[in-house]
Structure 1
Amino acid sequence: MDNYRKIEKPAPANLELRIAQCYYNAKDSTSAVQSLKELVEKHPRAPEAKEAMELLCNLVDSPGSGESALSAIDDLRYILGKNNPLIVSARFKAAKKFFEGKNYARAIETLEELSSELANSGKFADANFFLAESYYQLGRLDESILTFKRFTENFPQDKRAVVSLFRMGSAQFKQNRFEDSVKTFEKLTAGHPECEYCPAALYNTALSYKKLENWDRVAATLKTYMEKYPSEAESSGASFELAAVYEEQKQYAQANKTLEAIRDKTLQCSGIWGETTFRIAENHMAAGNETLAMDEYSKLTVIEINPALETWALNAMARAGEYYERKNDDYKALSYYERICERTKGLAEKPSWLDAVKARIDVIKSKVVMQ
């Protein structure tokens, strides 16, 4: 009997679980992951294995243990099977963590591997949306469009269907598929008229029509946008876009009406005031209203040096000089050109056309000498 030695039996699963729980509660994540993995490897069919897997799932979300927990779960696939609900749940939790942490490449890798396992689960909608958004964020636009489209078809009542439509339209716009982007954005605004994405979708519809050079539709869409969402329209510069459409169509009176409305709301010392004034003058000149054009140019040429307005003031002086040259009033033309040279002396970045102005000064002076 003295020589009898009792054979050691493996620790029961419940004891191993308690040990692992101690590591877990003590936030010793490295030891917890190792203990939980060993428990499942030794007792894959024991009830404790399920609880161990749930703790491993929790550790996927824990700072410092996420990668090791995920690695352990990946290894356990070969014991429990890749279709095991606990494996699928843990790996989906990891994919969600990658997505929320903007690690889109890892999210895509994990979700693509899980696609068949999640097809009939309650996580399928989440998986599809995470995958589509990850594709979009990484610029994989074809895949994002296809996945967002599938999401809107399979889950039309999901609140993220609206986001999916907006992303689809945005991706199509980035791909220069403007007819498709119009259809997608219009589907969003028609089907979800009160949603938060409607203002941006309506504005993007106008931009898509602009790319298609469908000027009537651009103008109509921008007007609707400005009427329905005045605050958003002001911040997005929709009025400038509308004025540009009228200018493109040579509807100069309408363009100036729009620009004047913008100017009336801005301070005279601002760059916006300078831009609108210059464009109003340009439109008058294009329409053949030279007197009105010169009145507008003069509002800029009389301004003292102001960094916010200087670009527009110098351009207005150049236009005034050109006008007086056409009228054979060389002295007035020369005075504007010389003022330009004087005002640009201290500028770090001089106008690209300054040399042309200096050349005109030489031409005019030579004419005056000859006279």
Structure 2
Amino acid sequence: MLATLRIGQSYYNAGDDKNAISELEAFLRKYPKDAKSPETLDLLEGSINRQEAANPALRPAGTAVLRGLISAFPNSPLASECQFRIARRFFSWKDYDGAAAEFEKVIVTYPDSSHMSESQFYAAECYYNLKKYDKAIPAFRRFVANFSDSEFSAAAWFHLGTSHFNTSDFEAAIEAYSSLIRLYPDSEFTSAAYNNLALAQKKMQKLTEAADTYSKLALNFPDDPYAVEALLESAKLKKELERYGEAILVFRDLENRFPPGDDRKLEVLASIGECYLASNDPEEAVRTFRALADAAGSNVNWKLEAFRQMGEIYEKQAKWSEAVSVYMEGGRTGGNPQVSKSFRDRAQYLKDAYLSGSDLKTTGQGQ
């Protein structure tokens, strides 16, 4: 008995996979219940994999070796193990249709398999990768119901949520992502679950909840790649909800996170100015838009936006000389010649009207 195994091991160690497969398969056929069968199967699969790495055309032959062992001992632990390994092979080849069928064989034929949780998870993953969400959703639901302690549970909840999201069932997606966050707060999928939860809440027009979810993501995962963007989205939603004081606090935090010249920093400054303007604080709005103009550097569009906002504020306050001054700055900024001319025209119109004492109409940047 041991002689056959040792010969197979020697061939394996020497890299002679053809002879190793022959000897190791012979051992398993003679002694399928031996204590060394799992170790022998590992070596057999290792030789098969090495052959296939050099020549993928040998994949069917390698699979046939494992199927032969299943046929020889159909109700044995060896057969169950071989069936799982066949399924795993198809999955590694990204043949998800084939892998799904093979994992389903493990689930149906070998209900006592030690690989039941993996088989159920990977069957669901196959359907998920194939975008067959009508099959993925019930498969993931069965898995999370039966294997809450599995190492794959967080991934299953995440992909369940994404399956619902991709089929526009946003309420069910919210439920799945929320379950993941509650059950596995420290998993590798949790920060992404917060982000996707907020997206689903936005789809449902639950903007207050979405803003709070983004805030929790940034608070709980400050070093996560999603964190800064989450803060930005939270601030935008608070602004949209007219929670201007809260929005300004978040925008101010973000202002210090972005380097000079970063478009996001300029966007944040513009948003702060708009929040001050909407909350009836024109003086702070002007100061913020002036900071935007200074920070914009060579970014003509943001610079012009700052001058436009300041000009309109000054006009509403009847501060004509200040309005003329910022419109003239806008006219000298460059960029689109027609836009520059519109700034200069507005400045000239206000200057003429201001100097002559005429009534002014402040309905736009042109007459």
How many Å separate the matches in 2 of 1:234 and 1:323? 36
How far has the Cα of 1:148 moved from its partner?
A: 1.6
1:67 aligns with 2:59: yes
How far has the Cα of 1:174 moved from its partner?
A: 3.1
Gaps of 5+ in 1: 1-12, 345-353
The aligned amino acid for 2:284 is L
Alpha-carbon deviations, 1:288-331, whole Å to 9, x = none?
4333222211112235734xx55533432343455567767784
Structure showing greater Rg: 1
Report the equivalent of 1:94. Answer: 86
Report the equivalent of 1:302. Answer: 294
Per mean C-alpha deviation after superposition, the further-off stretch among 275-284 and 134-143 is 134-143
Query: Which of 226, 238, 247 lines up with 1:255 in the alignment?
Result: 247
Per mean C-alpha deviation after superposition, the further-off stretch among 264-273 and 209-218 is 264-273
Report the equivalent of 1:125. Answer: 117
Q: Is the 8 A contact 1:267 1:273 kept in 2?
A: yes
How far has the Cα of 1:151 moved from its partner?
A: 0.9
How many Å separate the matches in 1 of 2:137 and 2:296? 53
1:190 aligns with 2:182: yes
How many Å separate the matches in 2 of 1:187 and 1:105? 29
Quickly say closer, same or farther: Cα 1:176–1:79, change in 2 above 3 A: closer
Summarize the alignment of residues 332-371 of structure 1 with structure 2, pairs less than 5 Å apart.
Answer: 332=325, 334-340=327-333, 342=334, 344=335, 354=336, 357=339, 360=342, 364=346
How far has the Cα of 1:82 moved from its partner?
A: 5.5
Alpha-carbon deviations, 1:55-102, whole Å to 9, x = none?
544434435367255343266279527655434422322332444565
How many Å separate the matches in 2 of 1:111 and 1:158? 17
Report the equivalent of 2:196. Answer: 204
Query: Which of 18, 21, 32 lines up with 1:30 in the alignment?
Result: 18
How many Å separate the matches in 1 of 2:246 and 2:7? 79
Summarize the alignment of residues 105-124 of structure 1 with structure 2, pairs less than 5 Å apart.
Answer: 105-124=97-116
Quickly say closer, same or farther: Cα 1:153–1:82, change in 2 above 3 A: same
RMSD: 4.1
How many Å separate the matches in 2 of 1:21 and 1:107? 29
Q: Secondary structure at the match of 2:52?
A: coil
Percent identity of equivalent pairs = 23
How far has the Cα of 1:123 moved from its partner?
A: 1.3
The aligned amino acid for 2:339 is V
The aligned amino acid for 1:120 is D
Alpha-carbon deviations, 1:126-159, whole Å to 9, x = none?
1112222333334333333222211111112223
How many Å separate the matches in 1 of 2:2 and 2:134? 50
The TM-score, its normalising length taken from structure 2, stands at: 0.73
Count of equivalent residues: 342
Report the equivalent of 2:309. Answer: 319
Quickly say closer, same or farther: Cα 1:48–1:115, change in 2 above 3 A: closer
Q: Is the 8 A contact 2:214 2:230 kept in 1?
A: yes
Report the equivalent of 1:350. Answer: none
How many Å separate the matches in 2 of 1:246 and 1:304? 25
The TM-score, its normalising length taken from structure 1, stands at: 0.73
The aligned amino acid for 2:307 is M
How far has the Cα of 1:279 moved from its partner?
A: 0.9
